[in-house]
Amino acid sequence: MKVHNFNAGPSVLPKEVIKKSAQSVINFNDSGLSLLEISHRSIDFLEIIEKTTFLVKRIMNLNDDYAILFLQGGATLQFSMVPYNLMNKKAAYLDTGFWAKNAINEAKKFGKVRVLFSGKNKNYTYISKNYHIPYDMDYFHCTSNNTIVGSQMKIFPVTYSIPLVCDMSSDIFSRKLDFCKFSLIYASAQKNVSSAGMTIVIVKKDILEKIRKNIPSYMDYKIHIHNNSILNTPNVFSIYTSMLTLEWIENQGGLSVLGEKNQYKAKLLYDEIDHNNLFENKIHKENRSDMNVSFFLKKKNLEKEFNKMWKKENIVGLDGHRYLGGYRASIYNALPLKSIQFLIEIMKEFEKKFSY
């Protein structure tokens, strides 16, 4: 059965990745064992972790100044792990959405948080570029893509000697950026990469050198680096599946090709929303996300009719976040162009039927 999967996370993955990953659960590398049955310290798994690390660096064009970690606890753990490791006294944050706000709330437990911009009073529909980063901050934290409202940072500030830290959970590997400008990037895997239960952390090792804190082992980046991500038993399945997705990304032509495809996919959908009489998008045009496209019915009383229409066509995951209502089409790397074209057809048909 053909299903169009617009889920926000866990979400659509490339079909061939799912197939290979499922096969490995039954018989991993013709070993007669399941991937779920092998030791995380076996040569086979060490090769997987090495290859995955290598691919992350090659795809993002990062050198050996960076360490790549595959941790647990989701992006949510990173909300506290970042300040635990990096905050001496104060850090600067951008409040651009619900996840950013969560990151801020956690950071406040470790020191002073300066919120340089908050989009809250505009319902997070806009991300300012006009803020000043004070020189005495331990780091600057931002969220590249705001999954719930559907906004995205298109440019990042120059932070000079202040480490630039970014939650890229919902747009990692979706576009080409100058990743060397970032000192720490984290992303939970279940949006654009793999299954839930694993978080990729990319950290420039030199920012960890001045830390003189006594940090619980699992929370300490340096200890994870020293142990090559196997301080404890990692999520073997999710790491393996990430490796497959990264291979898929390279086969697609890498981040510049994927970035262009993603922009094209998003533009088609935004154009339809803008031209269709019955729908609207509320995000400032230059901040519209290429990964999560949110939209609302102008006449709320048509909700039942629209829901009936897309649900019977095997479209799933189109409901907006429970905080916001409306609709959200998450259109990650692996979502086929065809699914977007199909959704657009449904929206056009709906307009024809109900706009009068």
Kindly list the residues in this chain that would bind ligand PLP in the complex (CB under 6 A). Answer: 9, 74-76, 99, 143, 147, 167, 169-170, 188, 191
Two structure tokens written together for 284: 């400032």
Kindly state the smallest distance separating residue 209's Cβ from ligand PLP, in Å.
27
Kindly state the smallest distance separating residue 168's Cβ from ligand PLP, in Å.
8
Among candidate residues 99, 204, 248, 282, the one labeled active-site is 99
Kindly state the smallest distance separating residue 167's Cβ from ligand PLP, in Å.
5
Query: In the block, which residue shows the tokens 């209502």?
Result: 325
Kindly state the smallest distance separating residue 169's Cβ from ligand PLP, in Å.
3
Q: Give the contacts of 303 (CB within 8 A, at least 6 positions apart).
A: 297
In whole angstroms, what is the distance from residue 79 CA to residue 354 CA? 45
Query: 122 φ, ψ to 5°?
Result: -110, 30
Nearer residue to ligand PLP within complex by CB, 75 or 127:
75
Query: In the block, which residue shows the tokens 């100044």?
Result: 65
Q: At what angle do helices 74-86 and 98-107 cross, to 10 degrees?
A: 40
Query: In the block, which residue shows the tokens 């006594």?
Result: 214
Catalytic-residue membership of 64: no
Kindly state the smallest distance separating residue 92's Cβ from ligand PLP, in Å.
18
Plot region of 229 (φ>0 → left; ψ -120 to 50 → alpha; else → beta): left
State which residue has the least CB distance to ligand PLP. 74
Nearer residue to ligand PLP within complex by CB, 189 or 343:
189
In whole angstroms, what is the distance from residue 244 CA to residue 90 CA? 39
Three-state DSSP at 144 gives coil
Q: At what angle do helices 337-354 and 303-311 cross, to 10 degrees?
A: 140
Core vs surface per residue 183-217: b (16+ CB within 10 A) or e: bbbbbbbbbbbbbebbbbbbbbeebbeeeeeeeee
Nearer residue to ligand PLP within complex by CB, 72 or 276:
72
Alpha-carbon torsion angle 246, 247, 253, 257, nearest 10: -20
Nearer residue to ligand PLP within complex by CB, 138 or 171:
171
Among candidate residues 101, 171, 191, 282, the one labeled active-site is 191
Q: How far is CA 159 from CA 97, 219, 312, in A?
A: 21, 25, 49
Catalytic-residue membership of 300: no
Q: Which neighbouring-strand residues pair with 199?
A: 71, 188
Contact 113, 107 (CB under 8 A): yes
Catalytic-residue membership of 210: no
Kindly state the smallest distance separating residue 118's Cβ from ligand PLP, in Å.
16
Q: Is the peptide bond before 10 cis (omega within 30 degrees of 0)?
A: yes
Nearer residue to ligand PLP within complex by CB, 118 or 276:
118
Two structure tokens written together for 265: 């996919």
Among candidate residues 95, 138, 167, 171, the one labeled active-site is 167
Query: 232 φ, ψ to 5°?
Result: -130, -175
Kindly state the smallest distance separating residue 198's Cβ from ligand PLP, in Å.
9
Question: Which positions are catalytic?
Answer: 99, 167, 191
